[in-house]
A and B are shown apart, each in its own frame.
Chain A
């Protein structure tokens, strides 16, 4: 009798006859996986909001509307506002040349585009110091012309561009490669100009992939810490982005304020995940999942 019931449960899942596990194994596996996710992902997220409101809503609001926090918000928006459009234009240009044409060295180019992902953020900041710092290649020239890049806003923007460089391109290249050239060729043969073809044919075809790349690019641009930290010199109110502001408040033991500012970035992360779900729902999921890694 006991044997019979075990067999019955094992075969219970419809359509999966003989290829699933006994119910207790399933439960143990699901339980272990969910416990792991809860410990490592849910708990830190809950902790951020719990700490942010630990001293009441008054402290929370005061921390968010503090002058330094507002200045940090402004700089974060500026950095992302410049980096994302620039990398968007680059991503479209790179995908157009790589997906639509044949040329030697294409694989090398694709690998080079992915390069910033394998460079440590700290090293990304360092290389810009070597180029634009006082002892760097352009240091003398910049000082003569009274221009500041390092420890100033341009440096932060540059570092942000570097770390978010591949996002849009790596999303568009495989997408445009699978779509092929036929539609664009038809448009050209029928007399459309290059730009007409791009705006009327290509862009509508790639819009969801483009949006997906932009969402990921923006999340990283607003959240970047290591590279921006090297570039900022930590001048309060003038070269702090939101993540840097979190660090300063935390190191000054203003934990409630630090977590309050951090909760804004956590909300941004949740918004990113939500938008990502919506876009993934529009385009085939397996490809997206692969690209995210």
Chain B
């Protein structure tokens, strides 16, 4: 008992000793919290009503239906569950869905960073239009995106006809899934990286340049480490969106079992065959993965804020 009481101040002092800046920041945070949350009675009305309505609505619309999926699956025996979620056709769909989602998020990480950089740093004609059009995948209904991409990349389409002589087939192949998921994920990376680049203090690069760093060196050693958490957040958001995506994929994918069938489509197929238990078991696997990703994204965002806070 005595030891714990004695250790705490010692570690604190050690901490302060090692990083003066750190302790200053810690103090600033406590002050800010104190200012924002005064220990006096809140005079505003409506707490019970607004919180009560929020909880009721959340419960009825989101939590109750979601729990139905878990309760339904809990009624399956373990072997039946494994049968449903690990059948070869299901595993093939996981491989395609996660592989294509990973590939698309990677493409978006590279080109999303490039687009964000160009939009923040350079002036060129059409910049405002380019900036606005980045949000198109958020606004365009997925089915519309789906038929447009399928048409573009079909053997007779504008792009498909160009690629066919090269022996590249996009529509109705796994490559089509990659294209659709790249379209869907682009804004996530651009819109998470863009604000970080905008708030990057110029002084850092000026210092790097004065100290003799080349442009490439100051990008790789100064800018990139600051942008990394936001870039990873954008990657994770694009990936999370891509694994659940349905509308934009099914038109271009071809939907052949074992080859170009994504997991969400498999859920629908099972539903149409009245295999509710099988469909729900796969849905539960997808839900668990989505929740895990949500956790990862929250951690990444906290890291991103921390790194940004350290700059300010």
Interface residues of A (CB under 8 A from B): 16-22, 25-26, 29-30, 32-34, 36-37, 39-45, 47-48, 51, 89-90, 93-94, 96-98, 100-103, 109, 111-116, 118-123, 126-131, 133, 135-137, 158, 161-162, 165, 180-181, 184-185, 188-189, 194, 197-198, 216, 219, 222-226, 229-230, 242-244, 246-247, 250, 255, 258-259, 262, 265-266, 268-270, 272-273, 276-277, 286, 289-290, 292-293
Contact B290 A293 (CB under 8 A): no
Query: Which 9 pairs between the two chains have the least Cβ-Cβ distance?
Result: A120-B244, A223-B141, A225-B247, A226-B246, A194-B45, A269-B139, A44-B148, A97-B50, A97-B51
Contacts from B to A (Cβ < 8 Å): 36-37, 42-47, 49-51, 53-55, 57-58, 61-66, 68-69, 72, 111, 114-115, 117-119, 121-122, 124, 126, 130, 132-145, 147-149, 151-152, 157-159, 182-183, 186-188, 191-192, 194-195, 198-199, 202, 205-206, 209-210, 215, 218, 233-234, 237, 240, 243-247, 251, 264-265, 267-268, 271, 276, 279-280, 283, 286-287, 290-291, 293-294, 298
B50 adjacent to A112 (CB under 8 Å): no
Interfacial chain B residues near A243, Cβ < 8 Å: 141-144, 247
Whether the pair A120, B43 counts as a contact (CB closer than 8 A) is: no
Contact A161:B286 (CB < 8 A) given known A127-B66, A130-B276, A273-B133:
no
A180–B286 Cα distance when bound, in Å, is: 38
Question: Can you give 26 contacting A-B residue pairs, CB < 8 Å?
Answer: A29-B118, A32-B114, A33-B114, A33-B115, A34-B130, A43-B152, A45-B140, A47-B157, A51-B151, A111-B294, A118-B240, A120-B286, A122-B244, A123-B264, A127-B283, A130-B69, A130-B72, A130-B280, A185-B43, A243-B141, A250-B147, A276-B139, A277-B132, A286-B195, A292-B187, A292-B191
Assuming the contacts A120-B244, A126-B279, A222-B141, asked whether A90 and B291 have C-beta atoms less than 8 A apart, the reply is: no
Known: A194-B46, A265-B144, A289-B195. A47 touches B247 (CB 8 A): no
Closest chain B CB from A172 CB (angstroms): 12
Q: Which secondary structure dominates where chain A touches chain B?
A: helix
In contact, A96 and B122 (Cβ under 8 angstroms): no
Q: When the two chains form the complex, which single residue of A44, A116, A120, A244 contacts B145, counting CB atoms closer than 8 Å?
A: A44
Alpha-carbon distance A131/B138, docked complex (angstroms): 29
Taking CB atoms, residues of chain A closer than 8 Å to B66 are 115, 119, 127
| Inter-chain contacts of A180 with B (CB < 8 A) | 36
Closest to B54 in A: A94
Determine how close the nearest CB of chain B comes to the CB of A157; give it in whole angstroms.
11
Contacts of B243 in A (CB 8 A): 120
Q: Which residues of B contact A100 (CB under 8 A)?
A: 42, 44, 47
A289-B51 contact in complex given A44-B145, A255-B151, C-beta closer than 8 Å: no
Q: B187 touching A293 by the CB < 8 A rule?
A: yes
Contacts of A101 in B (CB 8 A): 42, 44, 47, 51
